[in-house]
C-alpha cells in the first residue's frame, strides 16, 4: 500500500507543473541502460489559444503507450485537462516562453521492463524511476524561438486567485477527480515565479497595460530584462545548459 500511495502522490503532484514537465520533478530523467530502447525525442509540449491541445495528445503515440502516461491518463486526465485549459485562458504569449516547454523520450523493455506498470509486474518493481526522460527544449527544437523570455500572463485574470500575479492555486481548475487528501499538496506546489510589469503604449498614447511575467521552476524572471534566469540553489532542470546556450 505504501508504494501505491506514493504513486498516487506522484501522479497528483505532477498535475501542478506547467506545460511539458511532468516526470522530471520526481524521477531520474536520464536515458539509462536499464531499458533496452528509448523512443526518439518527441515534440516540444506547448499549448496556447491558437493551439489548445491537451498535454497528453501532444505526446508521441509511442509515449502514450508507456505505463507512466497511461497511469496519468487513467487517474488524472480530467484534472490535467482542466489545468491546461486554465493556463491557455490566462496566457497572453502564444510562442513558447518561461522555460516551460519540455520534450519527452520513453523507455521500453530491458531487465526492468521499463514500459510496464510496476503494479502489473510479478513481484513488483520500484516506482522510481518512471523511465520517462524529459529535457528543456532549445531554440533549435522550437524552430528558432527562444523560450527564455518570461511569459506574458493576464494580470486581471490571475488576480482573481487572491493576489497580484498569483497564478496558482486557481479556483477555475477542477480538481474534484483528485483524491481529497492530495488536493492541498497540489495547491501548495511552487512551480512558477511571476512578477508584475507595466507596459507602456508603443506610440505613447492609450492606457498602460499591466501584465504578469512568469517563468517555470527552477527559473525566475529578471525584474529588469524580464528574461528567465536560474534560481540559485534550486535543482537544475534537465537540459538546462543546452537550452540556455541556445
Q: How big, in percent rounded to 5, are the helix, strand and coil portions of the chain?
A: 25, 20, 55
Give me the half-sphere count of Cα atoms (radius 13 Å) on the Cβ side of residue 227: 6
Q: What is the pLDDT of residue 16?
A: 38
pLDDT tens string for the chain (246 positions)?
A: 223 333 344 444 444 343 344 444 444 457 888 899 999 999 999 988 888 888 899 999 999 999 988 988 888 888 888 888 999 999 999 999 999 999 999 999 998 899 999 888 887 787 778 888 888 999 999 999 999 999 999 999 999 999 999 999 998 988 888 777 777 777 777 789 999 999 887 766 667 889 999 999 889 999 999 999 999 998 888 888 888 876
Q: What distance lies between CA 75 and its chain's CA centroid? A: 17
Is 215 in a helix, a strand, or coil?
A: strand
- Nearest CA to 228 among 123, 91, 136? 136
The Cα–Cα gap between 228 and 120 comes to 41
The Cα–Cα gap between 107 and 115 comes to 6
The Cα–Cα gap between 222 and 229 comes to 7
Q: What is the pLDDT of residue 215?
A: 95
Amino acid at each position: 500500500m505504501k508504494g501505491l500511495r506514493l504513486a498516487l502522490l506522484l501522479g497528483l503532484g505532477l498535475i501542478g507543473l506547467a506545460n511539458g514537465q511532468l516526470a522530471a520533478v520526481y524521477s531520474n530523467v536520464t536515458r539509462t541502460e536499464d531499458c533496452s530502447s528509448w523512443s526518439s525525442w518527441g515534440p516540444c509540449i506547448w499549448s496556447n489559444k491558437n493551439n489548445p491541445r491537451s498535454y497528453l495528445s501532444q505526446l508521441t503515440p509511442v509515449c502514450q503507450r508507456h505505463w507512466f502516461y497511461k497511469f496519468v491518463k487513467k487517474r488524472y486526465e480530467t484534472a490535467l485537462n482542466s489545468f491546461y485549459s486554465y493556463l491557455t485562458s490566462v496566457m497572453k504569449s502564444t510562442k513558447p516562453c518561461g522555460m516551460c516547454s519540455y520534450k519527452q523520450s520513453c523507455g521500453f523493455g530491458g531487465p526492468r521492463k521499463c514500459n510496464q506498470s510496476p503494479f502489473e509486474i510479478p513481484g513488483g518493481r520500484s516506482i522510481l524511476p518512471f523511465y520517462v526522460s524529459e529535457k528543456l527544449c532549445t531554440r533549435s527544437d522550437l524552430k528558432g524561438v527562444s523560450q527564455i523570455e518570461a511569459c506574458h500572463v493576464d494580470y486581471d485574470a490571475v488576480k482573481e486567485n487572491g493576489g497580484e500575479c498569483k497564478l496558482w492555486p486557481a479556483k477555475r481548475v477542477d480538481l474534484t477527480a483528485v483524491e481529497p487528501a492530495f488536493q492541498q499538496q497540489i495547491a501548495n506546489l511552487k512551480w512558477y515565479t511571476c512578477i508584475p510589469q507595466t507596459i507602456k503604449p508603443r506610440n505613447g498614447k492609450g492606457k498602460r497595460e499591466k501584465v504578469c511575467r512568469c517563468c517555470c521552476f527552477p527559473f525566475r524572471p529578471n525584474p529588469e530584462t524580464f528574461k528567465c534566469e536560474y534560481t540559485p540553489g534550486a535543482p537544475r532542470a534537465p537540459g538546462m545548459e543546452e537550452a540556455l546556450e541556445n
